[in-house]
Amino acid sequence: METVVTLTLNGEMVSARADQTLLDVIREQKIDLPTLCHMQGLSERGGCRLCVVEVQGAPRPMAACVTPVTEGMVVRTHTPELEHQRRLVVELLLAERNHVCAVCVVNGHCDLQWAAAKLGVASVRYEYLHPDLTMDASHARFVLDHNRCILCTRCVRVCDEVEGAHTWDIAGRGIKTRVITDLSRPWGDSPSCTSCGKCVQVCPTGALFEKGATVAEMTKERDFVGWIIRGRTKREWTW
Amino acid sequence: MTSSNGKIRLATVWLGGCSGCHMSFLDLNEKLIDLAGRAELVYSPIADAKVFPEGVDVTLVEGAVANDDHVELAHQLRARSRIVVSFGDCAVTGNVTALRNRLGLDDVLTAVYHEGPGQAPRGDDEHVMPTLLPKVLPLHQVVPVDAYIPGCPPEPERIWAAVAALLDGKPVELPVAMRTFGA
C-alpha cells in the first residue's frame, strides 16, 4: 500500500510517495538539481554532493539522492549557501585530476563540464594537483583514463547491478582511490568483463571511452539503463 | 580612463598559449570594425607596441603563466589595467600549457630538447631564454583577475559577448552555453 506524505519544497506544498527520495520528488517538480554520481536505475551512492539541499532542522546539508521524504519536511534546494557549496565541489573535482576539456573525447558532452558551466564556475580557486596518472588501453574496444575519473562509481554500479559482472571496483583510499578492473589487473586481461560497454556509456566524463574516438567525438547513451530496468521489472521492452 | 579621443583603451596579451585565442579574436570579422570605432588597441601581439602602456581600460590575456617573463608582464599589466580578463582556457585553467605540470621540469626539458633532434638553451644561464616556472599557473593564481572568457579557443561569439559588455562598462555575464571550459 502506498503511503503519501506532504512536504514543503521551496515554499510549495508537494505530495510524494513515502518510498521516494527527495531527489525523485525534486526532479518530479521539474526543479533543476545537478547530480554527477546519481543515475536513474542504479543504486544511490550519495558521493558527489552536488544534490545537497537544506532540510529544516537538519544540522547540515543533506544529499537529496539518499534522503527519504518524510511527512512535514521543509526543503530548500537553491539557497546561496547551497549554490556556493556545489561550486566548491565542482572546483575540487576539477583541481583533483587532469580534466583538460580542450583535449577530451567528450568535450562538449561531459556532465562535469556542463555542471561547471551551469553552476557558474568561472575559474578554480584551488591549486591544480596535476597528478601523474595512468591510462589503461589494454581492452580491445575501450580505454580507461584515470586523469578524468571523478570516482562517481557509476561504472562499478552498472557493471554489478545491471550487467551482473562486477568487473569494476574501487581500490585505495582518499586521494589514492582508483577504479579497478577485477583485482587491479589490466582491463584487457579481465576474465569477468563481458565487453558490454555499459560502464563506458554511463561514465559522466571522458574517463571511459571507446577506442578510436578523438577530441569531442564521443557522445554517451544513458537511456538504456532505464530501458533494461523497465523491461526486467515491468516486462515493457521499449527503446 | 579613456583615450583623449573618447575610446576605450584596449590591450591584448599573449602569454603561454598557442595564439588560437587571438586567431579567434580576429574571427570577430566585421565586428572588429565596430570595435575599432569604440576602442583603441594600445598593446597587442598584432599592434606595434613594445612596452605595456599605462592607463589601460581593458586587457585580454591569452595563455597561462609559464615562465618568469610571463610573471613580470602579468604584474605589469595588472598594475596598468583597470580590468583584466583571462581570455581562453590556458589563462583560465592552465589547460594544455599546464599539461607539463605532471612531469618535473628537468624531465620536460629532457624529453623535448635534450632527447630530441636539437639543442636548446635551458634558460637558467645568463637568462638567454626566460626561465620556466616549476609549475604552469592559471593567470588568477598570479594576479587578481576581473573576468573570465573560457574556451579553447573561445568562440568569437563568446569574445564579443564579453567585450561588448566591457565596452558598455557592464560586468561579463556569459550565458551557460558560453561558459563551458573546452568546447
Q: Could you tell me the fold of the domain covering B8-98+133-178?
A: Rossmann fold (3.40.50)
* Cβ within 8 Å, pair B150-A124: no
| DSSP classification of residue A199 | H
Per-residue pLDDT 10s for chain B (183 aa) are: 567 788 999 999 999 999 999 999 999 999 999 999 999 999 999 999 999 999 999 999 999 999 999 999 999 999 999 999 999 999 999 999 999 999 888 788 777 777 766 666 655 566 677 888 999 999 999 999 999 999 999 999 999 999 999 999 999 999 999 999 998
Q: Give the residue among B183, B178, B147, B146 at the shortest CA–CA distance from B161.
A: B178
pLDDT of residue B1: 53
Find the CB nearest A113 among B92, B102, B181: B181
Sheet holding B147-149, edge to edge: B39-43, B8-14, B56-62, B81-87, B147-149
pLDDT of residue B105: 84
Find the CB nearest A131 among B94, B102, B152: B102
CB-defined contacts A:B, below 8 A: 74
What lies within 8 Å, CB to CB, of B107 at 6+ separation is none
Q: Could you tell me the fold of the domain covering A102-234?
A: Alpha-Beta Plaits (3.30.70)
CB contact, 8 Å: B102 with chain A? yes
The Cα of A106 is separated from the nearest Cα of chain B by a number of Å equal to 10
Q: What's the CA gap between A160 and A154, in Å, rounded?
A: 10
What is the ipTM metric for this complex? 0.93
Question: In Å, what is the CA distance from A220 to each residue of A78, A106, A206, A210?
Answer: 28, 8, 10, 10
Domain ranges of chain A: 7-78, 102-234
**Residue the block writes with cell 583577475:** B145
* Cβ within 8 Å, pair A103-B96: yes
Q: How many CB atoms lie within 10 A of CB A82?
A: 18
Low-confidence ranges of chain A (pLDDT < 70): 1, 239
CA atoms within 13 A on the CB side of B144: 6
**pTM for the whole thing?**
0.94
Residues of chain A positioned with their CB less than 8 A from the CB of B149: none
User: Which of the listed CATH numbers 3.30.530.20, 3.40.50.970, 3.10.20.740, 3.50.50.60 matches domain A7-78?
Assistant: 3.10.20.740
**Residue the block writes with cell 545491471:** A162
